[in-house]
Amino acid sequence: MRLSFRPYPLQLRHTFTVATCSRSATPDVLVELYHEGFVGYGEASMPPYLGESIESVCDFLRKTDLSAFTDPFRTEEILAYIDAIAPGNCAAKASVDIALHDLQGKLLGKPLYEMWGLTADFDLPTTYTIGIDTPEAVVQKVREVEGRFRRLKIKVGVPGDHEMVQAIRSVTDLPLTVDANQGWTDPQKALDEIQWLASQGCIMVEQPLPKQNLRDHAWLTARSPLPIVADESVQRLPDVQRIADSFSGINIKLMKCTGLNEARKMIGEAKRLGLKVMLGCMTETSCAVSAAAQLASEADFADLDGNLLISNDPFEGMQIVDGNIRLNALPGIGLRVKQEK
Ligand code: MG
């Protein structure tokens, strides 16, 4: 197998603000994996807070030599080699994992969900994320997507978030999920906020407190009227058991966990431990989003809107139909390359 890659900066439709940062572009690297006339597509997306960059991903991929692997179906062996190249580098590792799985599906002529014995016949709404903004801008963003989504996700944990929620409630009664991105520090105050948010039609809360505060999260989860889902507190497979007593569920993102192979193991572990499963994403093209969506039949919550937040998606893949995730029957992760203009 042979790998090629190129930087592909993602342009965001709106400047995106969460409790910890604000940005208008996301660095990204597109990967192609060739074998016997087939090509698998992969992607590394690097939001600034995870410590990877175009340079670090390209450095990692330059060290990656898959020429010795002649059987693309030796998944564990190939990905163990990738994981051992260097610690960290989770998005870089995910780009190879996604390309490898896409290639496998294409070699077999089957979508991944079918290869894994999963189904495309499910109803799972994805949330559409509204970043932190002025009440007027938030109303504008909600109106822009009116009728296309069944759930919205909002970012809270900053001053003025009540006004933002009330502004959204002035234009829609859709269920809301809430992401505090570690923005609250006092568990009692977080509980008060969550109770207020529940009264406003919120149905789930992501990462209310700083990621290392597992004991405070356990206290909060025991009292919260809404499920509390770990995002920043959970990255890879060993984290699932470590945080299991502190949260109601986990947010699995391919860029955090090194890709589909580990994501599938995390889903198994979460179900074994009685945790809810959320599939999330970064701002990504349809490549990584469609890869994650192959697992959607196994999830309780989905936030797979990263491709909708960018204006230069080079692919078409998973679609949102009536607010629900719809997988196509194309092999691998189900991508079509858009015609270059
Ligand atoms: Mg989150």
Q: Is residue 260 located within the same domain as residue 183?
A: yes
Instruction: State which of 93, 113, 133 marks the end of a domain.
Output: 113
Residue 340 has pLDDT above 80, yes or no: no
Dist. CA 188 → ligand 1 center (Å) = 21
158-176 average pLDDT score: 93
pLDDT of residue 66: 97
Residue 325: pLDDT above 70?
Answer: yes
Output the average pLDDT for the chain: 95
Whether 100 and 134 share a structural domain = no
How far does the centroid of ligand 1 lie from the alpha carbon of residue 251, in Å?
Answer: 7
Distance 235 CA to ligand 1 centre (A): 12
Ion ligand 1 — residues with CB < 5 Å: 179, 206, 231
CA 253 to ligand 1 center in whole angstroms: 9
Q: Are residues 126 and 101 in the same domain?
A: no
**148 and 276: one domain?**
yes
Q: How many domains does the chain divide into?
A: 2
Range with the lowest mean pLDDT among 80-89, 154-163, 310-319? 154-163
Q: What's the confidence (pLDDT) of residue 160? A: 86
Same domain, 46 and 189: no
- Distance (Å) from CA 49 to ligand 1 centroid: 12
pLDDT bin (cut points 50, 70, 90) of residue 17 is low
Q: Does residue 175 share a domain with residue 107?
A: no
Residues 170 and 318 in one domain: yes
- Residue range of the domain that includes 202: 115-337
Say how many Å lie between the CA of residue 110 and the centre of ligand 1: 31
Q: How far away, in angstroms, is 179 Cα from ligand 1 center?
A: 6
If asked whether residues 120 and 193 sit together in one domain, one would say yes
Q: Please report which confidence band the pLDDT of residue 20 belongs to, taking 50, 70 and 90 as the band edges.
A: low
- Alpha-carbon distance values, 340 to 312, 328, 337 (Å): 11, 22, 8
From ligand 1's centre to the CA of 319, what distance in Å? Answer: 22
Question: Do 125 and 109 share a structural domain?
Answer: no
DSSP state letter for 212: T
- pLDDT, one tens digit per residue, over 219-259 is 999 999 999 999 999 999 999 999 999 999 999 999 999 99
Q: Are residues 190 and 295 in the same domain?
A: yes
Distances (CA, A) of 259 to 12, 180, 204: 23, 25, 25
| 269-288 pLDDT tens trace | 999 999 999 999 999 999 99
Residue 154 clears pLDDT 90, i.e. is over it: yes
Distance 3 CA to ligand 1 centre (A): 31
| Domain harbouring 91, CATH code | 3.30.390.10
Rounded distance from Cα 241 to ligand 1 centre (Å): 19
Average pLDDT over residues 45-50: 83
Structural domain ending residue among the three candidates 91, 113, 135: 113
> Percent of the chain at pLDDT above 70?
97
CA–centroid distance, 206 to ligand 1, in Å, is: 6
Answer for the pair 266, 242: CB distance below 8 angstroms, yes or no. no
Weakest mean pLDDT among 67-76, 128-137, 178-187: 128-137
The residue type of 155 is K
Residue 14, pLDDT score? 76
The domain spanning residue 242 has which CATH number?
3.20.20.120
Tokens read off for 213: 């505060």
- Separation of 69 CA from ligand 1 center, angstroms? 36
Are 105 and 111 within 8 A, CB to CB? yes
Shared domain for 293 and 150, answered yes or no, is yes
Q: Is the dihedral of CA 334, 335, 336, 338 positive or negative?
A: positive
| Claim to verify: residue 128 and residue 109 sit in the same structural domain | no
